[in-house]
Amino acid sequence: MAPRKRRLVASLALILMLLLSACAAPTDTASVRKDGEPVRVSGSGTCLPLLRILSGEYSDETVEFVFLPGLHSGGGIKGVANGDLEIGSVSRELTKDETALGLRYTLLSRDGLVLATHSSVDIPGLTSEQVRGIYRGDYSNWKELGGPDLPITILDRNEDESAKIVLREFVLGKELVITPKAVNLYYEPDMIDGLQSTVGAVGYFSLGYGLSQKLPVNYLQLDGVDASVENIKNGSYDVIRPLGIVTASDASEEINRFVEWASSPAATALIEKRGFAPAR
């Protein structure tokens, strides 16, 4: 009975939406959002999990969020700038050109970048040099690094990804040439998926996401330092990237209210609880 009723309600809603859209579509362009329409969110894939957490906990039920597929940080900024998005997620510093767009940037969290292996590789950590060696292609088997006899499967991200940028900035250095044996994965979930399903794989991803999802992978110490919120807060773990959002300067009242709330102490506590380091 209950599912049937739910189905009925859903189909009625669908019909209503079709009617509404039939009325609205010819007169409006898709770029301008009207009040009551869902708030469109996209941008950096790293930051989206955080925004999902925040939007899920947001108390105002009248505001509906829709998460469009990841566009990376730059795509999010451009989307907000030309009005295709209301909120763009950004997991890196804004460039000069981007700052010139005059958008409102709000820092929500500082996310650690953690190196990890498939759970079959039971080493506690790597030094920065060892990491550089792996990505340079110096090692082919975990034996060489004190691990099990398993070939190393190197998972990497594109150079313009914020995670790769941060990794290069803090660990690899700008000049390091990545071995061709490494494979570039486009999205962070792919990276995480590969890390979980491939014996002997190594890769890196958002600490906050990993902690919040309790991923069954082997988190590595970097230079003997645990990747933890605590260590990020006290500054001993410094491979971090800023997670923030951009909104239009003339954004609607309800979006501004959300932004205000997201940077409030209550939201900060929530962020920290879920494994993300707070903004400051």
Partner 1 sequence: MNPFGRHLHNQIIAPLLVASVFVAAAAMIIAVTLIGQIIDSWIDQTAASATVIVVSRLEESSNDMQRNAKLIAEDQRLVAAVADGDRQTLSGLLVLQNQSVSADNIMLLDGKGEVICSTGRLQLAPGASPLGRGVRDWVLLSMSHHPILVSVGDSYTLTALEPVKGQSGSTFTLAISTVIDNTFVEGISQGSGAAVCILDENKKPVAARSTQEIGGAAVSEALLAPAPAVTAAIAAMGADSSSPMSVGEEHYRLKAQLVTFENDPTGSRAYLVAAMPTTVAEDARRTTTGLIAMWSVVAVTVLLGLNWYVARRVSEPLGQLSDSVGRVADGDYSAKVAFHGLNEVTELAQSFNTMTDSLRDRSESLTKKVLELATLYEMSRALGSTLDLDILLESVLESAMRIFNVELGYVTLRDRESGELKVRSLQGSSSRPDEAAVRSSMSEWVVREGRPLIFNPPRPGENEGSRIDSVSGALAALCVPLVSSEGTLGAITVGSRDPRHRFTSDDVRLLATIANHVTIAIGNIELFSSLQDAYLATVRALAAAVDAKDPYTRGHSDRVAQFALLIADSVELSPEQKTALEMAAYLHDIGKIGISEEILLKPGKLSDEEMGQMRHHPLIGANILKPIAFPWPIAPVVRHHHEHFDGRGYPAGLKGEEIPLLARVLTVADAYEAMVSDRPYRRGRSDEDAVLELQRCSGTHFDPRVVDAFIRALDDSATAIQQLVRPPVEELGPEEARAVFVAVCDGMCASFRRLGGPRLASNLEQDINGSFAADGLPFMLSAGHLVVEDDGDLSDEARLEQMRRAMDAVAAFIERTSGASLVGHFYAEAVESLPERMRRHADDLGLLSSRD
Sites of contact with partner 1 (CB under 8 A): 3, 120, 140, 150-155, 180-186, 190, 193-194, 197-201
DSSP result, 20-44: HHHHHTTTS-TTSPPTTSPEEEEE-
**Could you give the 3-state DSSP secondary structure of residue 219?**
strand
Q: Which is nearer to partner 1, 168 or 181 (CB)?
A: 181
Phi, psi of 146 (to 5 degrees): 85, 15
d(CA 268, CA 272): 6
Q: Which is nearer to partner 1, 3 or 56 (CB)?
A: 3
Nearest approach, Cβ of residue 38 and partner 1 (Å): 27
Q: Which is nearer to partner 1, 64 or 160 (CB)?
A: 160
Q: Which is nearer to partner 1, 129 or 138 (CB)?
A: 138
Q: Which is nearer to partner 1, 152 or 239 (CB)?
A: 152
Nearest approach, Cβ of residue 121 and partner 1 (Å): 11
Nearest approach, Cβ of residue 148 and partner 1 (Å): 9
Phi, psi of 203 (to 5 degrees): -170, -170
**Could you give the 3-state DSSP secondary structure of residue 61?**
coil
d(CA 268, CA 261): 9
Length of the chain: 280
